[in-house]
Structure 1
Amino acid sequence: MSKKKIIIGVLLTAVLSSFLTIAGLCFAFGIHSNEVADIVRFLGVKRFIEARYVSDVNETKLMDGAISGMVQSLGDPHSLYMNADRFEQLKEHTEGEFGGIGVTMGFKDSKVTIISVLDDTPGQHAGLEAGDEIMAVDGTPVSEMQPEEVAMHIRGEVGTKVVLTIERDGETQDYTIERATIKIDTAKGTMLEDGMGYIRIASFSENTGKEFKAAYDSLEEQGMKGLIIDLRENPGGLVTSCVEIANMVVPKGPIVSVVERDGSKEVHESNLEESKYPIVVLIDGNSASASEILAGALQDTGAATLVGTKSYGKGSVQVVVPMLHNDGLKLTIAKYYTPNGRCIDGTGIEPDVEVELPEGATTDVQLEKAKEVLKEKLQ
């Protein structure tokens, strides 16, 4: 018997076996008949690989690759399959402490750019700068990874090293950086002149609401008359933390509506009777996701004036689903809308007062303009 006939026989056997295996499952789970062929095709290929591939096959890795391929086929940069290690890294990041190098990244126009470098972190000590473009991680071009994967590859066990290939001013250089425990204080406040409070929110993690409240209460004790909320270079994070903060500054009513593809809607609302202080919000092109939810709610309700440049435009909502092998799936399931019904996905939020931050500026002209706007409100 020829090798070709043997292969065809094995494949047909695999397909027939797959069909018999799933026939009962399809009936039990109400799978439509037009989906059965695709399931048979998938299982047939899987079994053929397991039976005929030149080397032993790790079944778990095979399924990981299949699931990852399904997610990648969506063409959505915010949807991602995570194996057990990467899923654990994601959980550590949202909890506010993880092994990394201390940089915030932006993903746009097929580029990965460093937005900011945290003080006293491995990234700062290595000489990384805001504006650096990451070309590769440990020799793997970022063009071969999904955006979310880039961050996962950079994070890792404390004490291990990662090599970033950086392009700056047309020149490329490798940076070898040892990962450390990164503890993010996501909300910090300070009192400026003339009773103006200032709170910088770096991201929205589990503790951000508590940190914001602590900063807010401290500024009140110091006699705050008005507030500047700085959301620049804030990539977003947990919507729950954003809503928690919105309840302190957004007047009573809708904060954000989350709408799924079937039209079902979940509305998050503020219970705050009225804003206690005039507010100015700073945004820029790297203010994304939860940052845009907060900024959009404050703008739509007239509770704040937005200063800076147009925001990033990430108006989609992801859910993180734990799976059976300590792995997880991050999937876009909805879009969010501001109180006035704006969907800003792909468009962003326009500031009320546009102010560019010139490259190489020695003065934060955006903050200075925010202070000027707030002073007018206080008069």
Structure 2
Amino acid sequence: MNDSKKISFCILILFLFGTAVVANEAHDTLKQALKMIGGHAIYTLSARRIEEIVACMDEKLKLSATRNIWDHEFNFMGCLDEDPYARYIPTASLVQHLLDPYHIGYTGIDATLSKDEGFIYIHEIAQKSPAAQSGLEKGDVIRTINNKSVGAMDLETMRQSLFHRPPDSEIMLHVERNGILLAKPLKLQLGRRSFVQEEILTEHTAYFAISAFPSGLVTQEVIPILQKFSARGIKSVILDLTENGGGLAGSASEFLELFVPSENRLLLEMRARHEVLRYISSKRGNYADWNIVVIVSKACASACEIVAKGLQQMGYGIIGKESTFGKGSFQDFYPIAEQGKILFTKGFFFFADNTSPEKNGIRPDYLMREEALLLITAHDMLLDQKILHESSLLHVLPQKVSLPKIKRAPRK
């Protein structure tokens, strides 16, 4: 064998060996994670079943050819049928969207970080996000952050430099687009996430919508808004949960404590294989004497259903076109590699009446088939009279509506 063939052969061997090492590392990490998860989830996983899942994920994600497997979110659909909610989430996404969204600036970027290639590749840009406003586009490659080469950074430094900065931080990015480095750097100003929208409807009524229940929601957004309403003498509010897909059970329970009519009241019980966690009110809520009507939809799930059912059991009225989604399970995180965590189903939650929303959801007290009339009907429930008030939320609705008399549940 001549020297050139020997060199080519050696390169091939090194390439194959390197790929095998990556694959084995990914396989071993995934196997270990599944073994640990199987000991705490609502289901068990035998050694044979774990091998089947890893083989399936290898086929699905091409573990043998993917060097940055842990940099991008993926699910286990089609491989881990025992758990429809199982998925892997990078730490940057978890922190930004759920665990600490108020102290970490929002970018709107979904990207792969590669130390070996020395770049950050942008997979997706959220609409109307800071990244979209900066001029970044899907497919862009970030080469420098604040004039520091991405190629000289390790993965943790990349994450800290781009994703773990305070809100309102400004970052200068040199970007490569379609193989050509842009002449001027792009300025990315990190945003602040908000999960609550609010509006004063009348002299005595207000509206607020919550899109999720992340950590810190109550102290960062809800209480300031309720204080604002209270300062104007408003104690009758419409709570819109129609676009709320869930969040953290602890955040949902913290929200319920604002309105609970008494101390030592069981708000929620979370039952797992090896433990039971109960959320019990410590005192009467500061807003327990308020009047609330809640609007729900089929999209309302998980933590959203905890809030809807909790308020319903306290005697507040629930209105909607149909029952809520019906997700009574809760998930926990298992850290995998250093970049992220696997979400897996750990148990089911139950309310004070020993029921769970699993599969059946929460049935509204009043079913309103005409979606366009949900808001005005909720407002009518607040006032016990059929009066349409002017506001940016209500002015598009019919000037007159004919509604049946609504009997509100007694406060408990």
Matched, 1:79 2:79: no
Matched, 1:256 2:264: no
Q: Which structure features the higher share of helix residues?
A: 1
Matched, 1:268 2:268: no
Matched, 1:336 2:343: no
Task: Using structure 1 for the length normalisation, give the TM-score.
Answer: 0.58
* 1:91 maps to which of 91, 95, 117: 95
- SS class of match (2:324): coil
Residue in structure 1 matched with residue 238 of structure 2 by the alignment: 228
Does the 8 Å CA contact 2:245/2:304 hold for their aligned counterparts? yes
Give 4+ residue runs of structure 1 displaced > 4 Å after superposition. 56-64, 67-71, 118-125, 156-161, 179-182
1:199-218 equivalence runs, <5 A: 199-210=208-219, 211-218=221-228
Structure 2: how far apart are the matches of 1:227 and 1:189? 10
Structure 1: how far apart are the matches of 2:191 and 2:361? 29
Q: How many residues align?
A: 266
Matched, 1:369 2:366: no
Q: Kindly tell me: are residues 279 and 328 of structure 1, through their superposed partners in 2, closer, same or farther at Cα, counting changes over 3 Å?
A: same
Residue in structure 2 matched with residue 350 of structure 1 by the alignment: 363
% same residue: 23
* 1:188 maps to which of 191, 197, 200: 197
Deviations 1:87-108 (A, max 9, x none): 3222221133543389xxxxxx
Structure 2: how far apart are the matches of 1:327 and 1:288? 24
Instruction: After TM superposition, give the deviation of residue 327 of structure 1 in Å.
Output: 2.8
Structure 2: how far apart are the matches of 1:350 and 1:311? 7
Q: Kindly tell me: are residues 277 and 256 of structure 1, through their superposed partners in 2, closer, same or farther at Cα, counting changes over 3 Å?
A: same
1:1-379 equivalence runs, <5 A: 38=47, 72-82=79-89, 86-94=90-98, 95-96=100-101, 97-100=105-108, 120-121=128-129, 183-210=192-219, 211-252=221-262, 253-262=265-274, 264-273=275-284, 275-302=288-315, 304-309=316-321, 310-358=323-371, 364-376=372-384
Does the 8 Å CA contact 2:76/2:87 hold for their aligned counterparts? no
Instruction: After TM superposition, give the deviation of residue 76 of structure 1 in Å.
Output: 2.2
Does the 8 Å CA contact 2:108/2:132 hold for their aligned counterparts? no
Instruction: After TM superposition, give the deviation of residue 235 of structure 1 in Å.
Output: 0.7
Does the 8 Å CA contact 2:237/2:291 hold for their aligned counterparts? yes
Q: Kindly tell me: are residues 42 and 352 of structure 1, through their superposed partners in 2, closer, same or farther at Cα, counting changes over 3 Å?
A: closer
Structure 1: state its 5+ residue gaps: 1-28, 30-34, 50-55, 103-117, 126-136, 139-155, 162-178, 359-363
Does the 8 Å CA contact 1:209/1:241 hold for their aligned counterparts? yes
Task: Using structure 2 for the length normalisation, give the TM-score.
Answer: 0.54
Deviations 1:288-336 (A, max 9, x none): 111110110111222x100113111111111122234333111110111
Deviations 1:120-144 (A, max 9, x none): 558999xxxxxxxxxxx99xxxxxx
Does the 8 Å CA contact 2:269/2:350 hold for their aligned counterparts? yes
Structure 2: state its 5+ residue gaps: 1-35, 37-43, 111-125, 140-161, 164-170, 177-187, 386-407
Counterpart of 2:279, as a letter, is H
Cα-Cα RMSD? 4.5
Structure 1: how far apart are the matches of 2:64 and 2:79? 22
Does the 8 Å CA contact 1:283/1:311 hold for their aligned counterparts? yes
Instruction: After TM superposition, give the deviation of residue 57 of structure 1 in Å.
Output: 5.4
